[in-house]
Amino acid sequence: MELDQTFRTLLATLDLELYDLELTAGTLAVTVYREGGVDLDALTRANRLLSQWLDQNDPIAGHYTLDVSSPGLERRLRTASHFSHAIGEVVTLRERRGESSTRRLEGVLVAVNEDGVVIDDAQVGEVRVALDDIERARTVFVWGSSAKPTPSRGPATNPLTSRKG
């Protein structure tokens, strides 16, 4: 889509990056990114800026809705750039394997280049997957696992470091 470079330039003035751009079913979905996250004020400013540019230049025929959002905690990964932002994070992906059945992998994303990714899958270890073989992928939000104190349980204790009497 030719809007890609124009939107990148416009969003850079707001200290935002264009993460994804997709026109489907009457919606122009623009996903913006900033290291450390995107707040509501930044989304509002991006929406106004892009809406104003679209109104002045009218590059899309017909009616459509502009939807500006952040990638979210569990964001879709489609390009090498998307994956490069997720290095060190837990990801899940479905790999197409020709005649074999599709394989689902989940683990820490270790490396990325223009041709593929390396994921350290919990069951099979490090696996290299070509970008063209990825059916779909996303980051996985991992909830904290440590128990928090509650009035009924008292403080959480570690049996290895707790002493009695």
Weakest-pLDDT range from 71-75, 142-146, 161-165: 161-165
- Across 44-60, average pLDDT: 94
Which band of pLDDT confidence, cut at 50, 70 and 90, is reported for residue 61? confident
Alpha-carbon dihedral sign for residues 130, 132, 136, 137: positive
pTM here is: 0.68
Which band of pLDDT confidence, cut at 50, 70 and 90, is reported for residue 145? low
Q: Output the pLDDT for position 160.
A: 44
Which band of pLDDT confidence, cut at 50, 70 and 90, is reported for residue 164? very low
Distances (CA, A) of 68 to 9, 44, 134, 149, 163: 16, 8, 26, 39, 54
**Do residues 103 and 60 lie in contact, with contact meaning Cβ atoms separated by under 8 Å?**
no
- Across 125-131, average pLDDT: 94
Which band of pLDDT confidence, cut at 50, 70 and 90, is reported for residue 122? confident
Cα(37)–Cα(110) distance, integer angstroms: 22
Specify whether domain 3-69 bears CATH 3.30.300.70: yes
pLDDT at position 129 over 90: yes
The CATH fold assigned to 80-139 is: SH3 type barrels. (2.30.30)
- Across 80-108, average pLDDT: 89
Cα(90)–Cα(83) distance, integer angstroms: 11
Phi, psi torsion values for 121, nearest 5 degrees: -75, 140
The domains of the chain are located at: 3-69, 80-139
Q: Percent of the chain, pLDDT > 90?
A: 59
